[in-house]
Amino acid sequence: MSTLYRYYQATDEGALVRLWNLCLPQDPVNQENFRHKVLFDPNLNREGFWVAEEGGHLVGAGLGLVRRAPLGDLGLEPERGWISFLFVHPEFRRLGIGRTLLQRLMDFFRARQRRLVQVVGYAPYYFFPGVDPQAYPAGLSFFKASGFAKAFEAVAMARSLEGFLVPEEVRERTRQLRQEGFEVGFWRPEDTLPLLEFARREFPGWYPSVLDGLQRGLGHKIVVARQGQEIVGFTQWENSYNDPPQGAAGRFGPFGVSPALRSRGLGAVIFYHLVEAVRQQGARYLWLGWAGGRNVNFYLRAGLQVTRRYEILKRELT
């Protein structure tokens, strides 16, 4: 067997998407989606995008990314690299192709002085937050055998909006917060500057998402919490940044409340305000692709269920 390893080239697109759907059946893509999230990613560098070819056919691919464009105030994260995906045709597994593709990606990271490589934990154009051990047990074994260890966990969550009702305690909390000077509602033009300032200050990683939504004229998909002239919380519906150009149907988030004002029910008021409005617009389903930590409890209380579990893996480079 003489496997050829080379950079991805433009004519690979159709074959690569077909191979993707064979190898990652729980995360199907089409060419448009692939183009938006891979080829239009400003961080794409062909030297980090490797394919394996056998007898003129693609049998494997792997994508390594380092930031060329800063993610808001998080900047370029110059010590980090991310493996967005890596897969091998089922009939060509356990032959060392995955290992060789991974070596090429690691060489790409080393040449760029990276100290930490993650699978994946990358934003904004991620397909999945990490490896789903249930869907891809071989993927997990492969990375663990290659020196990667679990860094943290994330989940995807969802709920049907049938039967959804705003709990009375949230309505009561809305009234109380209004008396305390907080107002929750959809974005208005005068919210623009305070919202951008708030996102930049408190959630620099989400600032580009907010900016993108406003630039595309999708302010009507953003709910904000105001305190006087200040914005103190926000969320986005079907954000166009993760899933350009229009956002994915039913996707919720990002979602953030000022750290100084947490645990007062403001998040619940924002969440339910949005959900009630999108229900009225006809939405039947709500989902989010990446949640972790205490946020999971918030969503469980709001009736969401965990639909996928992920391990975000890391390996230090010396």
125 or 299: whose CB is closer to ligand COA?
Answer: 125
Binding mask 80-109 for ligand COA (x = CB under 6 A): -----xxxx----xxxxxxx----------
Stretch that binds ligand COA, among 2-10, 139-147, 214-222, 289-297 (CB under 6 A): 139-147
* Cis amide prior to 129 (ω within 30 degrees): no
Q: Is 145 in the site for ligand COA (CB under 6 A)?
A: yes
CB of 268 to ligand COA, least distance (A): 35
61 belongs to the binding site for ligand COA (CB under 6 A): no
Interface with ligand COA includes 290 (CB under 6 A)? no
**Least distance CB 9 / ligand COA (angstroms):** 21
| Strand ranges across the sheet with 222-227 | 182-186, 222-227, 230-237, 252-257
59 with 3: CB under 8 angstroms? Answer: yes
Name residue 156's beta-bridge partners: 308
Q: 25 vs 293, which CB is nearer to ligand COA?
A: 25
Site size for ligand COA, by CB under 6 A?
20
Q: How far is the CB of 253 from ligand COA (least distance, A)?
A: 22
Is residue 145 helix, strand or coil? helix
By CB under 6 A, residue 139 contacts ligand COA: yes
Q: How far apart are the first and last CA of the chain?
A: 32
Position with the least CB separation from ligand COA: 139
Output phi, psi for 253, to 5 deg. 115, 165
- Piece in contact with ligand COA (CB under 6 A), picked from 131-139, 217-225, 280-288, 303-311: 131-139
**How many C-alpha atoms does 230 have within 13 Å on its Cβ side?**
11
Structure tokens at 287: 């989902």
Give CA–CA dist 284/240, Å, rounded.
Answer: 19
Structural tokens at position 157: 């969550």
Residue type, 152: F
Minimum distance, C-beta of residue 311 to ligand COA, in the bound complex (Å)? 10
Interface with ligand COA includes 310 (CB under 6 A)? Answer: no
Sheet holding 80-88, edge to edge: 4-7, 49-54, 57-65, 80-88, 116-119, 305-316, 149-160, 285-291
The nearer residue to ligand COA, 134 or 297, going by C-beta atoms, is 134
Applying CB under 6 A, which residues contact ligand COA?
A: 23-24, 85-88, 93-99, 131, 136, 138-139, 141-142, 145
